[in-house]
């Protein structure tokens, strides 16, 4: 029972986009299609099929998608139940078209804003406060799109749950105000990225409306306030990493895949009663959404896919992801669908053969002779196609569709920030016109083939979608007026084709005249060869032009990618530098503390980290070394001064002894003088002796 309720809270839908004009021009086939309201089936292997809560065909409008995949989430959020809506799919499958849309076809974000304000209008008993934030996750880094300074934001947790620290929240006053805020956020995304397409395909954007409400009136003091968050998320492209060639690109891809992979696991665990642990913490995206996803919040996963054969594998991956997110059995109701599927086949074959017949009629020059007959046959074919198409579309009408138009009507200026409507082929005959004018005159056999299959492909999604709606009477997806519109569009397409045929016929007749003339001039063959050569040249030129364009595009992407990486590296570097500065400061502080503890270096045994202890020890060693050398220095100095002292002492002693010597010599001399005087005074008798002894002593007196 509980798991049923959990399951009900998660809605998984698949939305097909129409084949693009380019895909049609390339002659691509339809590989996957909506088989009924809940099943997607493979065109080439009908046993491959997946069931979902709802499958939207290529002609479904975003408003219809909104009614089934978003409306209940938004109204729940206005009543205090958290809600999250995701657009998941490969690049160019229609995520942004679904979430933002364009002026002609507003996406889920503008529709939500309108819906929220209409609920406020219809709930006079309560008062509301709405706040809006707009974030982006790129390479697992959270950036604020409403505040250029809000980069590398952190996800924190408190008793209320997870939140983004320092995120800018704008209080919303009116729908127009909300649109202007979103427009500013989009502007910021464009400014911040060197290559917007590349950037947007690799980033997740999260639009969050925080809703508070309380009963109106004076005496509502004690009443609890309802608080809820509504997240509308345009996810990064889910393309597989096989296209990622370089290591760095792989890293970036793995970031994207990490978030998407975790998201898949989280959503599938939300629908599984047995799941005990939900790995919200494994990626930034799921961590940020933890509060909204857990509990009884409502979740809607809209998986966008292209039917085209060239993307078949990627589409299959998306379908598998969506299926994992919510496992829905293909039940007995399938039988009914299979019956209708065979109706589709019948219808499909009939249209195909009618179209082929028509093409044959137009292009076969042999039949030009019987122009009148052909005109009739053509008319017959066209009216057959028309009535068949009409029949199906009429049967798809459902009468009890309420008119949600009023609730979502936009003032002309409100959606001015959105791109003008892109020309999607299923509703725009101008594209067909373009193809025709391009092909005219230079058409080769191959071109004809492309055009043929292109036309068939164009019809495929239309009729399938039409039948899809007819398969269930309670559908209510296609309104009467829209069916009629579609009819008119198809009618116009057919008229267009008709005109094109006429144009071609005229060209062929003209060519025939020319060739007839040339036959007369006997140079028919040469002209034919020349025409053929020219055609081949054109084909070659077109091919090489396309090649060059793709190469150019690739180089541009590489270039801007490199720039982005460089700026990412600069940020990394800055962080590292800050980290180093911090460590250095810490070191300084530690050594300061050490010094404060005096000269008793002890081994730290506390909770110091290894790195710190190591550096402290080194510091101690160095200090000791310095101290020892200082000691030695003072010792040397002492010895030096001692030596100096001794030297001067010795000098002094030498001086003294010299003085003494001089003194003694003086004394001696004096003594000799005395002696000689004494001898003189002793008299004559010793005269001879005195003279002899003076000779002996060697002194001259």
**Residue 472 φ/ψ, nearest 5 degrees:** -135, 120
Beta strands in 218-288 (DSSP E): 226-234
Residue closer to ligand ADP by CB (options 89, 106) is 89
Least distance between ligand ADP and beta carbon 201 (Å) = 6
Which residue from 89, 150, 253, 297 is in contact with ligand ADP, where contact means CB under 6 A?
A: 89
> Rounded to an integer, what distance in angstroms lies between the CA atom of residue 19 and that of residue 567?
37
Residue closer to ligand ADP by CB (options 147, 311) is 311
3-state DSSP assignment of residue 398: coil
The residue length of the chain stands at 701
- Determine contact, residues 223/240, Cβ cutoff 8 Å: no
Residue closer to ligand ADP by CB (options 465, 500) is 465
3-state DSSP assignment of residue 567: helix
3-state helix, strand, coil in the chain (%, to 5): 60, 15, 25
Residue closer to ligand ADP by CB (options 314, 424) is 424
Q: Provide the pairing of β-strand 226-234 with 83-88.
A: parallel
Candidates 259, 234, 267; CA nearest to 9 is 267
Mask of contacts with ligand ADP, 245-284, x by CB under 6 A? Answer: ----------------------------------------
Which residue from 63, 95, 323, 464 is in contact with ligand ADP, where contact means CB under 6 A?
A: 95
97 interacts with, out of ligand ADP, Mg ion, none, CB within 5 to 8 A per kind: ligand ADP
- Chain CA centroid to CA 340, Å: 40
Residue least distant from Mg ion (Cβ)? 96
Least distance between Mg ion and beta carbon 70 (Å) = 17
Residue closer to Mg ion by CB (options 90, 351) is 90
> Rounded to an integer, what distance in angstroms lies between the CA atom of residue 521 and that of residue 516?
9
Residue closer to Mg ion by CB (options 41, 95) is 95
Which residue from 93, 290, 318, 471 is in contact with ligand ADP, where contact means CB under 6 A?
A: 93
540 interacts with, out of Mg ion, ligand ADP, none, CB within 5 to 8 A per kind: none
Check residue 304 for interaction with Mg ion (CB under 5 A).
no
Check residue 464 for interaction with ligand ADP (CB under 6 A).
no
Two tokens at 94? 């229609």
Check residue 306 for interaction with Mg ion (CB under 5 A).
no
- Determine contact, residues 140/258, Cβ cutoff 8 Å: yes
Mask of contacts with ligand ADP, 200-219, x by CB under 6 A? Answer: -x------------------
Which residue from 252, 424, 465, 564 is in contact with ligand ADP, where contact means CB under 6 A?
A: 424
**How is 21-75 classified by DSSP, letter by letter?**
HHHHHTTPPB-EEEETTTEEEESS-TT-EEE-SEEE-TT--HHHHHHHHTHHHHH
3-state DSSP assignment of residue 79: coil
Check residue 22 for interaction with ligand ADP (CB under 6 A).
no
Q: Provide the pairing of β-strand 10-16 with 298-305.
A: parallel
State the angle between helix axes of 62-69 and 108-122 in degrees (0 to 180), rounded to the nearest 10: 60
Residue closer to ligand ADP by CB (options 190, 537) is 190
3-state DSSP assignment of residue 480: helix
Judge residue 570's burial from the number of C-beta atoms within 10 Å of its C-beta, 0-12 exposed, 13-18 middle, 19 or more buried: exposed
Check residue 463 for interaction with ligand ADP (CB under 6 A).
no
Check residue 199 for interaction with ligand ADP (CB under 6 A).
no
Q: How many residues bind Mg ion, per CB under 5 A?
A: 2
Residue closer to Mg ion by CB (options 96, 462) is 96
Footprint (CB under 6 A) of ligand ADP, residues 496-535: none
Q: How many residues bind ligand ADP, per CB under 6 A?
A: 15
Binding window for ligand ADP (CB under 6 A); candidates: 14-22, 26-34, 127-135, 398-406: 14-22
Binding window for ligand ADP (CB under 6 A); candidates: 84-92, 167-175, 382-390, 439-447: 84-92
Binding window for ligand ADP (CB under 6 A); candidates: 90-98, 282-290, 441-449, 693-701: 90-98
**How is 557-573 classified by DSSP, letter by letter?**
HHHHHHHHHHHHHHHHH
Binding window for ligand ADP (CB under 6 A); candidates: 95-103, 208-216, 279-287, 389-397: 95-103
**Residue 297 φ/ψ, nearest 5 degrees:** -65, 155
* Contacts of residue 261, Cβ cutoff 8 Å, sequence gap at least 6: 283
Helix or strand (DSSP H, E) at 83? strand 83-88
DSSP 154: P
Residue least distant from ligand ADP (Cβ)? 94
Check residue 363 for interaction with ligand ADP (CB under 6 A).
no
Mask of contacts with ligand ADP, 97-126, x by CB under 6 A? Answer: x-----------------------------
Which residue from 21, 94, 106, 307 is in contact with ligand ADP, where contact means CB under 6 A?
A: 94
Least distance between ligand ADP and beta carbon 240 (Å) = 15
Binding window for Mg ion (CB under 5 A); candidates: 94-102, 373-381, 464-472, 518-526: 94-102
**Residue 347 φ/ψ, nearest 5 degrees:** -60, -50
Which residue from 60, 96, 133, 389 is in contact with Mg ion, where contact means CB under 5 A?
A: 96
Mask of contacts with ligand ADP, 294-333, x by CB under 6 A? Answer: ----------x-----------------------------
Mask of contacts with ligand ADP, 394-423, x by CB under 6 A? Answer: ----------------------------x-
Radius of gyration of the CA atoms of the chain, in A: 47
DSSP 194: S
- Chain CA centroid to CA 573, Å: 22
Residue closer to ligand ADP by CB (options 168, 202) is 202
147 interacts with, out of Mg ion, ligand ADP, none, CB within 5 to 8 A per kind: none
Range 479-500 burial, b when 16+ CB lie within 10 A, else e: beebbeebbebbeebbeebeeb
* Contacts of residue 150, Cβ cutoff 8 Å, sequence gap at least 6: 143, 144, 166, 167, 168
Candidates 158, 265, 262, 139; CA nearest to 202 is 139
Binding window for Mg ion (CB under 5 A); candidates: 96-104, 268-276, 387-395, 520-528: 96-104
Least distance between Mg ion and beta carbon 255 (Å) = 17
Check residue 64 for interaction with Mg ion (CB under 5 A).
no
Footprint (CB under 5 A) of Mg ion, residues 569-608: none
Residues in contact with Mg ion by CB under 5 A are 95-96
Residues in contact with ligand ADP by CB under 6 A are 17-18, 20, 89, 91-97, 201, 304, 422, 424
């Amino acid at each position: 029972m509980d798991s049923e309720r959990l399951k009900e809270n998660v809605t998984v839908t698949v939305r097909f986009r129409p084949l693009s004009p380019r895909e049609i021009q390339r002659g691509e086939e339809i590989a996957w299609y909506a088989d009924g309201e809940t099943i997607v089936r493979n065109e080439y292997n009908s046993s491959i099929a997946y069931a979902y809560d709802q499958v939207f065909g290529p002609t479904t409008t975003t408003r219809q998608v909104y009614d089934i995949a978003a409306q209940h989430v938004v109204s729940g959020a206005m009543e205090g139940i958290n809600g999250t809506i995701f657009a998941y799919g490969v690049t160019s499958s229609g995520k942004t078209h679904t979430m933002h849309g364009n002026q002609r076809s507003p996406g889920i974000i503008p529709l939500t804003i309108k819906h929220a304000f209409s609920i406020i209008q219809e709930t006079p008993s309560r008062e509301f406060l709405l706040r809006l934030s707009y974030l982006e996750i790129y390479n697992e880094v959270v950036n604020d799109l409403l505040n250029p300074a809000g980069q590398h934001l952190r996800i924190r947790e408190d008793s209320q749950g997870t939140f983004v620290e320092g995120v800018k929240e704008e209080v919303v006053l009116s729908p127009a105000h909300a649109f202007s805020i979103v427009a500013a956020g989009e502007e910021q995304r464009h400014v911040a990225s060197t290559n917007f397409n590349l950037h947007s395909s690799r980033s997740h954007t999260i639009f969050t409306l925080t809703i508070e409400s309380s009963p109106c009136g004076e005496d509502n003091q004690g009443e609890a306030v309802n608080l809820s968050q509504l997240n509308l998320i345009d996810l990064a492209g889910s393309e597989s990493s096989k296209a990622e060639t370089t290591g760095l690109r792989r890293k970036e891809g793995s970031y994207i895949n990490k978030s998407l992979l975790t998201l898949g696991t989280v959503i599938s665990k939300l629908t599984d009663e047995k799941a005990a642990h939900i790995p919200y913490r494994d990626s930034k995206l799921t961590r940020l959404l933890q509060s909204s996803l857990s509990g009884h919040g409502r979740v809607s996963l809209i998986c966008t896919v292209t039917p085209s054969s060239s993307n078949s594998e990627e589409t299959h991956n998306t379908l598998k992801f969506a299926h994992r997110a919510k496992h829905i059995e293909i039940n007995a109701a399938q039988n009914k669908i299979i019956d209708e599927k065979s109706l589709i086949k019948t219808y499909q074959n009939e249209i195909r053969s009618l179209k082929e017949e028509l093409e044959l009629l137009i292009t076969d020059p042999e039949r030009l002779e019987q122009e009148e007959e052909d005109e009739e046959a053509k008319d017959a074919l066209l009216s057959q196609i028309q009535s068949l198409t009409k029949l199906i579309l009429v049967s798809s009408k459902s009468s009890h569709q309420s008119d949600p138009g009023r609730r979502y009507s936009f003032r002309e200026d409100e959606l001015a920030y959105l791109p003008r409507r892109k020309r999607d082929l299923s509703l725009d005959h101008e594209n067909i016109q373009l193809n025709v004018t391009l092909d005219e005159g230079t058409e080769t056999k191959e071109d004809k083939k492309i055009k043929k299959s292109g036309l068939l492909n164009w019809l495929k999604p239309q009729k399938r979608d039409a039948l899809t709606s007819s398969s269930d009477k309670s559908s209510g997806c296609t309104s009467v007026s829209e069916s009629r519109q579609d009819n008119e569009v198809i009618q116009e397409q057919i008229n267009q084709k008709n005109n094109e045929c006429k144009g071609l016929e005229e060209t062929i007749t003209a060519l025939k005249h020319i060739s007839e003339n040339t036959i007369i001039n006997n140079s028919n063959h040469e002209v034919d060869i020349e025409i053929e050569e020219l055609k081949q040249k054109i084909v070659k030129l077109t091919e090489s032009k396309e090649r060059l364009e793709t190469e150019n595009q690739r180089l541009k992407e590489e270039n801007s990618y490199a720039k982005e990486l460089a700026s990412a590296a600069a940020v990394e570097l800055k962080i590292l530098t800050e980290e180093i500065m911090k460590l250095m400061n810490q070191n300084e502080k530690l050594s300061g503390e050490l010094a404060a503890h005096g000269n008793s270096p002890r081994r730290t045994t506390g909770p110091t980290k290894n790195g710190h202890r190591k550096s402290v020890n080194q510091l101690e060693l160095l200090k000791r070394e310095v101290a020892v050398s200082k000691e030695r220095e003072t010792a040397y100095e002492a010895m030096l001064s001692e030596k100096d002292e001794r030297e001067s002492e010795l000098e002094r002693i030498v001086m003294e002894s010299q003085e003494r010597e001089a003194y003694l010599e003086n004394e001696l001399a004096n003594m000799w003088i005395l002696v000689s005087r004494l001898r003189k005074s002793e008299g004559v008798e010793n005269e001879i002796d005195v003279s002899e002894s003076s000779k002996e002593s060697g002194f001259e007196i």
